[in-house]
Amino acid sequence: MLDVLSNRTYRHLFAAQVVALIGTGLLTVALGLLTYRLAGAEAGAALGMALAIKMVAYVLVAPVANAFAGRLPRRAFLVATDLVRAAVALILPFVDRIWQVYVLVLVLQSCSAAFTPTFQATIPDILPEERDHTWALSLSRLAYDLENLLSPTLAAILLTVADFHWLFGGTVLGFLCSAALVMSVGLPSPKRTERRGIYDRTTRGLRIYLATPRLRGLLALNLAVSAAGSMVIVNTAVIVQAVLQRPQGDVAVALGLFGGGSMVAALLLPRVLDRLADRTVMLPAAGLLGVVLLAFAATTWGGGIGWPMLLATWLVLGVGYSATETPTGRLLRRSATPEDRPAVFAAQFALSHVAWLVTYPLAGWLGVATGMPVALTVLGVLALAAMAVAAVLWPASDPDIVEHAHPDLARDHPHIEGAGMDRHAHPFVIDDLHHRWPAHRPG
């Protein structure tokens, strides 16, 4: 895995991702404390609104930002978004109204919605070999999981010696270091295509995504991932403290088991994906999420929730979560030309967060209104249903090279000139010459 870090450009970008994630983790803790300082007993509702604003920004801003990002050098664009995020984090400690928090969160998360897909789409251009890209995806998954474990710990240490406002200083430092690391390397940009209108650039990634069978399957898998992830993220604290009557520290233990399972899967996946197709790994992993949630629900109906069972369940959910989520970048890489990758990554970023926008409130409302057994059951059924839909939308036969015809092109068109037949075959993606996926032709 660490061989990919010998590539200087990727090494600097990975370091930028790590320090930005740590800064974001500190920001999450600081925002919760700031919201409590400003809203008091209504802090929960205020923080929920801030998280909703974050998701809306992710869904709406990513495709639009990508439409303009293509006009700018990648390095300059990434650095600019880091600097704006640092500026917002610098201002946040000085606000004294909740509405000001909402506005600044909208700006900050809009920059994140612009930064992340562009960053992700750059990695395949730096590491063109699929094996290297797979290792990079696993490293990225590990970085997210380690951030979930380390950022709260680091925040707790800082809070023992300073007021929570200093956490924003750590966030500013993280974004500034990220910008410096991005500035320290040159980044490839996709070759320019003909100029397109703003509507075409904004919707291009979504149109490619929804016209590609494997990505339509991925859209359903996003829902399975968010169903399981929302149950863990939204309800862990409630289960541990309110249901099991255990101390706050055990919330971190439970979440740590989920993150540990995710890290184990991320470490094993590159070797597994050398032998198995993405579909063969991702569909069973999504099914595992649903089965585990339903199995845990069944145990809670009879005798209540047990602490060891919760830990075991969260560990296995972490494995299934990572095994479903980590190969996503490989699918996006296969499904677009280099110049269209940023648009497709932006589409995945937006559409995956639509799923979270549905399952976050669903997990919370079910837990409060109906109890944890019902919440586990509904989310487990949702994950299984999403996996079943993905299996239908994503054909088992999913080759890169697809035979197809171009009845709309002249015989002397450069794309088919010399083919010598009505049909030809090459690595197939949706682009300006290929508007729809060819119908399957049995061998």
Residues 101-130 pLDDT 10s: 889 989 998 998 888 888 888 888 888 887
394 touches 217 (CB < 8 A) = yes
Given a cut of 90, whether residue 304 has pLDDT beyond it is no
Closest to 258 measured CA to CA, from 216, 210, 292: 292
Q: Which pLDDT score is estimated for 6?
A: 87
164 touches 13 (CB < 8 A) = no
> Which residues face 405 on adjacent strands?
423
Burial of 290 (0-12, 13-18, 19+ CB in 10 A): buried
Q: Which pLDDT score is estimated for 439?
A: 75
Q: Which pLDDT score is estimated for 241?
A: 78
Residue 243 C-alpha from the chain's centroid: 30
Given a cut of 60, whether residue 73 has pLDDT beyond it is yes
322 touches 261 (CB < 8 A) = yes
Given a cut of 90, whether residue 62 has pLDDT beyond it is no
Report residue 162 as tokens: 């300073």
User: Which of 6-10, 102-106, 159-163 is least confident?
Assistant: 159-163
Q: What is the mean pLDDT of residues 379-401?
A: 94
Q: Which pLDDT score is estimated for 44?
A: 56
Q: Which pLDDT score is estimated for 436?
A: 85
Report residue 120 as tokens: 């992700």
> DSSP states of 290-309 as a string?
HHHHHHHHHHHHHH---HHH
101 touches 95 (CB < 8 A) = yes
Q: Which residue has the higher pLDDT, 341 or 420?
A: 341
pLDDT (tens digit per residue) in 234-281: 888 788 877 888 876 687 788 888 888 888 998 899 899 989 999 999
pLDDT > 90 in the chain, percent:
31
Q: Which residue has the higher pLDDT, 437 or 291?
A: 291
Given a cut of 90, whether residue 287 has pLDDT beyond it is yes
For the whole model, what pTM was predicted?
A: 0.82
| Strands, E assignment, 284-415 | 401-405
pLDDT-derived band at 440 (thresholds 50, 70, 90) equals low
Q: Which pLDDT score is estimated for 442?
A: 47
Residue with tokens 């309110």: 242
Q: Which amino acid is at 109?
A: Q
> Which residues face 332 on adjacent strands?
none
Q: Which pLDDT score is estimated for 153?
A: 67
Q: What is the mean pLDDT of residues 49-59?
A: 80
Q: What is the mean pLDDT of residues 358-376?
A: 87
Can you list the domains of the chain with their CATH numbers?
A: 1-187 (1.20.1250.20), 203-394 (1.20.1250.20)
Q: Name, of 2-16, 141-155, 269-283, the range with top average pLDDT.
A: 269-283
Q: Which pLDDT score is estimated for 219?
A: 96
Report residue 276 as tokens: 């198995």
Q: Which pLDDT score is estimated for 222?
A: 95
